Amino acid sequence: MNQTNSLHERRRAQAQLNFWVTNRIPRRWFTLAMGRLSKVRHPWIAKPCIALWQRFSDLDLSEAREQQFASIHACFVRQLKPGLRPFDNNPDLLCSPCDAIVGAQGIIGQGELLQTKGMVYTVQELLQSQIDAQACEGYHYVTLRLTASMYHHFHAPHDLNVKQLRYIHGDVWNVNPPTLKRISSLFTKNERAVIELSLSQTGQTAWVIPVAAVLVASMRFTFSDLHLHLRYRGPTQTEVRATLTKGQHMGWFEHGSTIICLIPPTWQWVGPDTDQRIKAGQAIYRKTDVKPCRVSH
């Protein structure tokens, strides 16, 4: 019993330290500095940093297409060996766009989504659009958290048409569990992209929202030339006409972060439980003709 209590105490202490280290620093400055350092192409920097990264995390490079990296950034955005993330081709299944840990998921009710137990935020704040928020009432939502050591690319969860890309400037809070429990409406505070799309099979509108975080305020997309980052000052909204098939490469983070998916009511959650790991291509929703009842927070 004492050992169990001691373990819980250590975990709480680690969570508290993680929160203070990653959030009580000049987040914007630190993110920009890390971005510059990560792109330095020199073995004296890249090799020891990657070795430390592997030692103190679950970074696994056995799936990587390349085994040697000229910079830390090259390791961050690494591609996988072909065939390692097959997407289920059943048209009645919608798949996870990325490797992740499943966070809060449920049904949007009265415009609210669950951030973590006891904390909610609004879809209007997330999307920065009252019209889109009204359209999302009764939609499913799921938060997919990418850790720093994961594969950082994301893919089309279904056959779809990308309609619009909108960039929302914000902060770069860490998005790990300790911070989610302490900072209210965190996802509505951070830099993020709002990708509006339509599902080819049904014509229904859905949204995929990549959310930036400390060390990772940079996103790239295969269907747009925009490179979204902290210093970006170009158009914040652009119309897109792009057709992607299920599993097709959609974009990538420059480091780990979060993706929030908003899925129409005629789909039912079939993914793993909260806090479980999931891989890109694994089914998370199944199409159904039954509109689900609202699940309260």
Q: Are 48 and 106 in a shared domain? A: no
* Domain shared by 101 and 154, yes or no: yes
The pLDDT assigned to 115 comes to: 92
Indicate whether 81 belongs to any domain: no
Q: Which of 253, 201, 210 is nearest to 94 (CA)?
A: 201
Distance of CA 174 to the CA centre of its chain: 12
Check whether residue 274 and residue 175 sit in a common domain: yes
Number of domains in the chain: 2
Predicted local distance difference test score (pLDDT) of residue 171: 76
Contact 180, 186 (CB under 8 A): yes
**Joined tokens for residue 81:** 């060996």
| CB neighbourhood size of 273 (10 A) | 7
CA distance 148 to 137: 32
Kindly state whether residue 293 falls inside one of the protein's structural domains.
no
Residue 254 lies in a domain: yes
Whole-angstrom Cα Rg for the chain: 19
Neighbouring C-alpha atoms within 13 Å toward the C-beta of 291: 6
- Asked whether residue 34 falls in the same domain as residue 134, the answer is no
Domain, as residue range, for 29 = 2-76
Higher pLDDT, 126 or 291: 126
pLDDT value of position 216:
53
pTM over 0.85: no
- Mention every residue, 6+ apart, whose C-beta is less than 8 A from residue 195: 162, 164, 165, 207, 208, 209, 210, 221
Q: Quick one: average pLDDT of 106-117?
A: 93
Token code pair at residue 251: 């974009």
Give the pair of three-digit tokens for residue 90: 């059943």
Residues 42, 9 share a domain: yes
- Pick from 76, 108, 131: which residue ends a domain? 76
Domain boundary among 15, 44, 76: 76
Question: Does 296 map to a domain?
Answer: no
Query: DSSP secondary-structure letter at 272?
Result: P
Residue 275 placed within a domain: yes
Claim to verify: residue 128 and residue 64 sit in the same structural domain: no
**CA proximity to 175, closest of 122, 107, 101:** 101
Residues 194, 258: one domain? yes
Same domain for 142 and 207: yes
Q: What is the mean pLDDT of the chain?
A: 82
Residue at which a domain ends, from 76, 110, 139: 76
What is the DSSP-derived secondary structure letter of residue 291?
A: P
* Residue 51, C-beta contacts closer than 8 angstroms, at least 6 positions apart: none
Do residues 115 and 257 share a domain?
yes
Residues 206 and 101 in one domain: yes
Predicted pLDDT at 224: 84
Tell me if 223 is assigned to some domain.
yes
How many C-beta atoms lie closer than 10 Å to residue 80's C-beta?
A: 14
User: Does position 149 have pLDDT exceeding 60, yes or no?
Assistant: yes
Same domain, residue pair 102 and 230: yes
Is there a single domain that holds both residue 37 and residue 145?
no
Does some domain include residue 64?
Answer: yes
Q: How many CA atoms lie within 13 A of 214 on its CB side?
A: 18
pLDDT given at position 177: 78
Res 11 pLDDT > 50? no
